Structure 1
Amino acid sequence: MLVKDCVSTQLLPLFKDMDPQVGVSLRNFHIQVSKMSNISDLVVYCFNDDHERSVHLSKKEDSWNGKCKCASLARLLHIAQLMYTTDHPELAQPGQRKLYNTFVLDDVKLNALEASNLLSIPLLNPDASSKATGDLCSDYDIEVFNNWDSNYLYREKLEISKMSSATEVLDNVWFGNTTDFECLHIQLNSGKKPTYVDLKSSNFPLHCDPTNTVVILKKDDLAQRPIREVDAKLITFPRAHWKLFVHCIDGARFPTPMELRTVVSSIGYLQQIYLEFPPSGSVEIADLSEEDILCIVNVCKLLCFQCTKEFPGLLYCSDGYTETSLLGLCFIMYSQKIGIDEAIIRLHMQYGRPFFIFKSDYLLLQKLEPMILKFAQLKGDKLTLEDDKGIVKSFLLAPKHVRHKSTLGMSFNSVLHTATGQHIIHLREQQKGRAKDSDSDTDSTSSLSSAGTDLEVAGVCESVAGSIPSRVLPHLYLGSLSHASSLRLLKELGINYVVSVGEHVPWLDDLEYATGMTESGCEIFKICSDQKADGSDCGVEEVMRINNINDDGIGTLTTTINDALDFIDKCYESNGKVLVHCQVGVSRSATVCIAEVMKRMNVSLPRAYLYVRVRRLNVIIQPNLKLMYELFKWEELFMRSKLKKRQFSVSSQSSNGQSNNSTFSTNNSDRSSFSNSVGSVSSTFISSSARDKPRFSLAGYERAISEEADEFDIRHLDLGPEDVISNTPGFIREVDWYILCREIFNLNRAYIKPGK
């Protein structure tokens, strides 16, 4: 029978060994599914028509030649479990109760599975993937989105398009993404009048507005009809009828003078005009001809003077910020007649746009700045393109202006050397060859890291080469030590609180402050007012330093994370802004920010992870495996605290004669009744040592939640009784550990080479 099972399934009764054979990695997310399968009960089922008959006959016959292979697979899995137990005798030690089993579900009741949130995606009709003309989502798309057990790449794309959806930067000039462009044309091509959505007025920039996200959507939110109402929740509809489009895209060349003159002369009678432009990170000053530089100036002039209320323009790229940042900053410099550093601050603070520039872009913009400002100040005809190459030559041949330089201590490579080892910083666009090898990956990396190369210290953004910390929430920034080390940058951004996770900001040594200590050992520095450090005014009021936490797979945030959240909450209540940073801003500080988003937005761990990941823009957050597991356990505390407060609230209502609608209030709920239907698994595959407790029953579940020992100190964690946003209310978590790890790995491997 064993041989027949192997031939039938093309499988062997052994668990695959996924452990790395060489070296040590702190981020082995890809092997967690394998690890969990070795120490889990396994349930085998399928939706083939002959499943029930196959399972029934497998108890009497040695072979089955139908479509269903569940019986054969279950036998092989059970043998694999026995083999694994033999190789790991610790699993069978007395008192540990770690013998795991394989079950076959012989009566697959889809309705019961779906009602109990145990079915990821229900069986759909063949036409579920079809869409009516003008619709953006199908029924299948909605079911995929509602399933938080898979396809995080799809979710990430939706969140990016939502976060960076088009906003008006200056009169009639918008910055946006490809989704904005495509949605407008879907509406135009469907023959329907375009719907222009005017988003609610908000005091916060759209990209960090906690209401402008798909992670807060639950199944019930997407159950409405018509489908157009669902479309509007997942995708932001166009906010204007744009007619001039400038698309920054890989492989594009600079428009020629003839093409630009044709555009200018055609605006009066063409319905739409489309231009392509080279993306950020793709050019350096040495690559540009005089004609290319004039093209940059003329495209800025075209946007500035030719975009009107009747002919608005959209500058866009795939994600809404990466490829457009270079041209977008040139446009702001030209239209506002300001330098590069002021343009960066204004684009972030005043216009509220997400953007990301590579170091090569910042160096290029420094070179272009005097030329752009010179052309911007000319009082020529607004309809005439600039063609004076003499101005360009005069600036290119002018002596270089030498400024005082300061060495911040980092080499030009993609590996950051610290006291705790090497950190490899991954950017989303590195794999696409965004910038040249000599300066792209290494330079863009150094602009993000705490360390810096020889940078001219003059402008407010020069010490970080144009990189600014990521604004995750209106009060919360995530960044690196280099961001925290620049008092000028912190003051420009209005940041008055700092959380240093395992690092020390150098300017603190030059200031007077009062010190304090939390119960978990975090240091608090209250800085005296009206002080300067390195010639810069200090706008920071308080600093929290979390000590003895390195990104080495050993350091822990278990005992300190709640104190950090209390500190952030203090900033929030005082209407301040806080920067959370570590060395690079991808692991330790990202862990704290994910926890803050979970608490502040009332969402589960996978939703908070995706929210923070998208708002870190091109820098990929990578909490190490230990810190991620600590977040996973912290989520249990988060859920237990919510459930306890909810139960107390429900009990109070019951004592007053009010009805109780709690998930756990009655034993005849759909979820409770489901335990009876699942209990009918084939006893042929149940070990005699199987545990006595019901496999899927929720009896005793509430008690188990309340009795489980807390690993975190919850005395000071103030959590309200509101339900956590989740598609599985009443469950201790929305997504299990191994599934979350698998999806994180799938997200990262799109940008990170294997073995990194």
Structure 2
Amino acid sequence: MATVVVQQQPQVRQSTPPPLGPTISLSQARSSTPIPNKHLPYCPPGPVPSQSHITPPNSPPLRNVAPKPTSLLHPASNYQKLCSSPPIYGISARQVAEALEHYSCQPLPHPSSVFPWLHGLHPENHIQLAFFVARKKSLRRIPKCLRGITIIKAGGDLSRSRIKGAIAPDEVLNLSESNGRGFVDCDPREGFSVRNFHIQAVKMALVSDIIVYGDEDTDHRIIKSVAERTASVQKKWRKELETIGQYPETFNTFVLTQSFEDFEQLYPELVAIDSQGKYQDHTLDFLQQERREMCAMSKASEISHAVFQGPSPGPYTNPPSSLDDPSYDLYVEASDHATLPDDKLLAAKLKQLEDRDEDDDPVHLAFPSSGSILPPSWSQVEADGILRMCRWLYNLTHAMKPVTKCQDEDGDIQMSEFALRPRRVLLHCADGYTETSMLAVAYFMYAEGVPLHEAWIRLHVEKQRNFFAYPSDVALLNAIQGRILGESPKFDSSKMASIEPPAWLAKLDGSLPSRILPYMYLGNLTHANNPQMLRLLGIRRILSVGEPVSWTEQEVNDWGRENLMMVDRVQDNGIDELTLEMERCLGFIEQGKQDGTATFVHCRVGVSRSATICIAEVMASQGLSFPRAYCFVRARRLNVIIQPHLRFVYELMKWDEIQQEKRGVIVKRELEWATVAREIAAMNRPYARS
């Protein structure tokens, strides 16, 4: 039989989940939300040329170049000059608001006009230069189609009184005269990357008018010093470019002449964090938005009689809740630090539950998390512990508990014989799926009397649970399946000998494709090459972005060639464009939706090219802005962090403009490019390998 062959790259994952801890940001105040349990996979950027043989891909031609954006801050002669040398201008709260509103409605230049410059082209980084600009050195020049607005808060305290998009001075400026050219030297000196999100604030500051402000606690001398330094740096930077034959636009420095309190009162919609340090809900914060989407996606639901799985109670659950919420009698938290509970501990917990009144605080119990019991170190002790927990939970939830008490004539407490209910149990962890998956699958096998492969599919399809488990969990549960089913109260032991694991289970590494929408899944090439598993999930169409599947001719014929679509010649290299393919891809997905089936979208790793297509579909079908669609997809990609590179993210921001035009609304960005990139960098920093 003919086979379409592709070389597969091993999926990269970290052996243990990253620890939960406070969020990490780029000098930005955020709430102390636990870090979601994710990891950054290796995302191959396509062929990187060697020094001896440079064969960079052709740069795409300029197309549909947007007109140069206008700015209300240019020319600066329209504003009061506060200082002549260096030139600094005064700007009122109203003028700031008008300038930001005008800027947000200006169309972004075409990606080909600003890339590869935004990737970062350091003159000493020969690999980066060779890959992007070896054939056309003019691409190193600063694009003249960019004119942005950068807001700097003097003093740098962004934990309060923060205007939307504001950054600290040291994020873009070397504050000492002796430090080089003045702007932070952001372009990487070595290495090759198409995901330099952390440099975009500086890149845009180079082509921006800059507004400086402070709050009531900021000394006016500090505001004046930062403004003077900014204006001097802009002047010096312009002269340096002129010496090498580049003649950029003139950019200026402005100082907000009104207090932040006035600005906050007049334009609250432009305030990210108020003067009291309270984050404003109307301003999007990626980390908080991802947390909301994650809790919505993994919202607690019943997986078996009276046993629920979901996220740990907190401010982002819907509705917001706490671990003292009496909605559940027992909270079982899956944790890396927990040990298997023994009979003595379980007996003590049962006694607490029996003595518990309806209004008393719920009982809490910890259990080892997914991935914490690793072969070959696990033994019968671990198997005994898992079975002990399954038996205990089953007996607990299948015994009825009286919900009312009354006193007889002698004053003795009597239990009601009629008002009975089962005890409710919540299996929970920070993200609602990762750490609890091993226990949830094991319990489902025990309580429902089904083998591992059936439990895996039923939890996802029938119970609508999105979950992730490690390969070690698959191996462990497969190894102890006989014992779990042998003790299950619902399993027919006569069928034990006939249980054969299906072929697709051997290919399972613990992760299923990620359900982004009911009709659209996202995943990797390994998922794509497991068509039997995809069918069980209700998937009938495959959209391959840049990476063909390795299917036999028979498998192709069984699915029907019309249900397979390939987007060819698109590498994850920061050059190849996806915008031209989006309408065709989304049309293919829409056809599956109309047919009542689901489409699986994949590339190699399932985080960049295919994620870009999925984000585009969410924007188009759900009417979400790019930042919100990005967080929507990122939360539903489960344990793996999506990583569309810089150019794809920029293309999606242009796609946002197209969708708004289609909807007949005013085209306006919710967040600017530099802010979006800064947020993505801050979100990914906790997971980056040192």
CA distance in 1, matches of 2:477, 2:541: 31
- Equivalent position of 1:427 in the other structure: none
Q: Is the 8 A contact 2:293 2:632 kept in 1?
A: yes
- Equivalent position of 1:120 in the other structure: 271
Find the partner of 2:227 among 60, 74, 84.
74
What per-residue deviation string (whole Å, max 9, x for no partner) do you get for residues 450-497 of structure 1? Answer: xxxxxxx84433212232100011111001111111111111011112
CA distance in 2, matches of 1:556, 1:111: 45
CA distance in 2, matches of 1:235, 1:509: 52
CA distance in 2, matches of 1:554, 1:295: 53
| SS of equivalent residue, structure 2 residue 355 | coil
Find the partner of 1:588 among 603, 606, 609.
609
Alpha-carbon distance change, 78 to 153 in structure 1, aligned in 2, over 3 angstroms: same
CA drift of 1:506 comes to 2.0
Alpha-carbon distance change, 236 to 248 in structure 1, aligned in 2, over 3 angstroms: closer
What per-residue deviation string (whole Å, max 9, x for no partner) do you get for residues 693-749 of structure 1? Answer: xxxxxxxxxxxxxxxxxxxxxxxxxxxxxxxxxxxxx45210011111111011111
- Equivalent position of 2:630 in the other structure: 609
CA distance in 2, matches of 1:236, 1:478: 32
CA distance in 2, matches of 1:379, 1:358: 26
CA drift of 1:567 comes to 1.6
- Equivalent position of 1:332 in the other structure: 444
- Structure 1, 502-511 or 348-357: larger mean CA deviation: 502-511
Find the partner of 2:257 among 72, 90, 106.
106
Query: 1:711-722 counterparts in 2 under 5 A?
Result: none
CA distance in 2, matches of 1:608, 1:379: 43
CA distance in 2, matches of 1:236, 1:497: 41
Alpha-carbon distance change, 463 to 489 in structure 1, aligned in 2, over 3 angstroms: same
Query: 1:156-167 counterparts in 2 under 5 A?
Result: 156-167=290-301
What per-residue deviation string (whole Å, max 9, x for no partner) do you get for residues 202-241 of structure 1? Answer: xxxxxxxxxxxx8xxxxxxxxxxxxxxxx96777999972
What per-residue deviation string (whole Å, max 9, x for no partner) do you get for residues 173-217 of structure 1? Answer: 1112211xx57xxxxxxxxxxxxxxxxxxxxxxxxxxxxxx8xxx
| SS of equivalent residue, structure 1 residue 80 | helix
- Equivalent position of 1:629 in the other structure: 650
Find the partner of 1:747 among 670, 674, 683.
683
- Equivalent position of 2:426 in the other structure: 314
Task: Work out whether 1:475 is the aligned partner of 2:519.
Answer: yes
| SS of equivalent residue, structure 1 residue 71 | helix
CA drift of 1:287 comes to 2.8
| SS of equivalent residue, structure 2 residue 232 | helix
Alpha-carbon distance change, 329 to 606 in structure 1, aligned in 2, over 3 angstroms: same
- Equivalent position of 1:170 in the other structure: 304
Find the partner of 1:44 among 212, 218, 223.
212
Unpaired segments of 5 or more residues in structure 2? 1-82, 89-153, 156-168, 401-420
What per-residue deviation string (whole Å, max 9, x for no partner) do you get for residues 355-397 of structure 1? Answer: 10011111111111111111215999xxxxxxxxxx9xxx9xx
Task: Work out whether 1:300 is the aligned partner of 2:390.
Answer: yes
Q: Is the 8 A contact 1:499 1:579 kept in 2?
A: yes
Task: Work out whether 1:147 is the aligned partner of 2:83.
Answer: no
Which amino acid in 1 is paired with 2:652?
L
Task: Work out whether 1:12 is the aligned partner of 2:176.
Answer: yes
Q: Is the 8 A contact 1:162 1:236 kept in 2?
A: no
Which amino acid in 2 is paired with 1:146?
H
- Equivalent position of 2:64 in the other structure: none
Q: Is the 8 A contact 2:614 2:633 kept in 1?
A: yes
CA distance in 2, matches of 1:592, 1:243: 43
Alpha-carbon distance change, 294 to 378 in structure 1, aligned in 2, over 3 angstroms: farther
Alpha-carbon distance change, 613 to 375 in structure 1, aligned in 2, over 3 angstroms: same
TM normalised by structure 2 equals 0.65
CA drift of 1:562 comes to 1.6
Query: 1:160-559 counterparts in 2 under 5 A?
Result: 160-179=294-313, 241-264=327-350, 267-271=353-357, 272-307=362-397, 308=400, 309-376=421-488, 458-507=502-551, 509-510=553-554, 531-532=557-558, 538=559, 542-559=563-580
Q: Is the 8 A contact 2:522 2:611 kept in 1?
A: yes
CA drift of 1:636 comes to 2.2
CA drift of 1:339 comes to 1.3
Alpha-carbon distance change, 612 to 541 in structure 1, aligned in 2, over 3 angstroms: same
Alpha-carbon distance change, 588 to 630 in structure 1, aligned in 2, over 3 angstroms: same
TM normalised by structure 1 equals 0.60
RCO higher in structure (CA 8 A, sep ≥6): 2
Q: Percent identity?
A: 34
Which amino acid in 1 is paired with 2:568?
N
Alpha-carbon distance change, 541 to 466 in structure 1, aligned in 2, over 3 angstroms: farther
CA drift of 1:153 comes to 2.2
CA drift of 1:158 comes to 2.9
CA distance in 1, matches of 2:489, 2:264: 68
CA drift of 1:507 comes to 1.8
CA distance in 1, matches of 2:604, 2:286: 27
Which amino acid in 1 is paired with 2:334?
C
CA distance in 1, matches of 2:652, 2:321: 29
What per-residue deviation string (whole Å, max 9, x for no partner) do you get for residues 237-292 of structure 1? Answer: 99972112221112111111222234445543235432211100111243334333
CA drift of 1:34 comes to 0.8
CA distance in 2, matches of 1:164, 1:359: 21
- Compute the RMSD of aligned alpha carbons: 3.5
CA drift of 1:168 comes to 1.2
CA drift of 1:69 comes to 2.5
CA drift of 1:640 comes to 3.3
CA distance in 2, matches of 1:604, 1:320: 26
Alpha-carbon distance change, 154 to 578 in structure 1, aligned in 2, over 3 angstroms: same
Alpha-carbon distance change, 40 to 235 in structure 1, aligned in 2, over 3 angstroms: farther
| SS of equivalent residue, structure 2 residue 507 | helix
CA distance in 2, matches of 1:635, 1:503: 26
Alpha-carbon distance change, 161 to 547 in structure 1, aligned in 2, over 3 angstroms: same
CA distance in 1, matches of 2:598, 2:324: 31
Q: Is the 8 A contact 2:485 2:491 kept in 1?
A: no
Q: Is the 8 A contact 1:317 1:324 kept in 2?
A: yes
CA distance in 2, matches of 1:269, 1:233: 28
| SS of equivalent residue, structure 1 residue 121 | strand
Q: How many residues align?
A: 491
| SS of equivalent residue, structure 1 residue 47 | coil
CA drift of 1:159 comes to 2.6
Alpha-carbon distance change, 324 to 562 in structure 1, aligned in 2, over 3 angstroms: same
Alpha-carbon distance change, 621 to 345 in structure 1, aligned in 2, over 3 angstroms: same
Find the partner of 1:27 among 195, 203, 223.
195
Which amino acid in 2 is paired with 1:70?
I
Alpha-carbon distance change, 511 to 244 in structure 1, aligned in 2, over 3 angstroms: closer
